[in-house]
Amino acid sequence: MAVARYPDGIRKNAIFATSYISYDLDLDLAPFNDENVRKAFYHAVNRDELTATILKDIAIPADSILLPGYPGYNSDIAAEAVFDPAKAKQFIADAGFPEGTCFLEIEI
C-alpha cells in the first residue's frame, strides 16, 4: 500500500469530491473509429492498479463517470467496467491487430 511506502508523503483528508481521469479519442480517425479498438482499451485499463500506484490509494476506482445515486447512473453498465486482458486482446485482434501487433504507439 502506498501509505506504507510513503508515510510522510501522503495526507488523507475526508472530503466529498468527484473527479476523474480520462483520455479523449478522436472517433473519426483510425484506429479509434473501430468499436473493437475502443472496447479493447476499456478492458485494458486496470482501474485498481492506477488508483493504487498513480493516485497512491487516495481515491476510489470508478466504474462509471457517474456516481451511484446520480441521475443516469446504470449499475448494469458500470458492472462491465472490469480489467480483463483476455477480452482486451480478443477485441484488439477482432479489430485487425492480432496480439496488438501493427498497432500504433499511444502515450497515455
45-98 pLDDT per residue, tens: 999 998 899 888 888 888 888 888 889 999 999 999 999 999 999 999 999 998
**Residue 5 exposed, middle or buried by CB count within 10 Å (0-12, 13-18, 19+):** exposed
CB–CB of 32/25 below 8 Å?
yes
Q: Which of the listed CATH numbers 3.10.105.10, 3.40.228.10, 3.30.420.340, 3.40.50.720 matches domain 2-100?
A: 3.10.105.10
Q: Whole-model pTM above 0.75?
A: no
What pLDDT sits at residue 61? 84
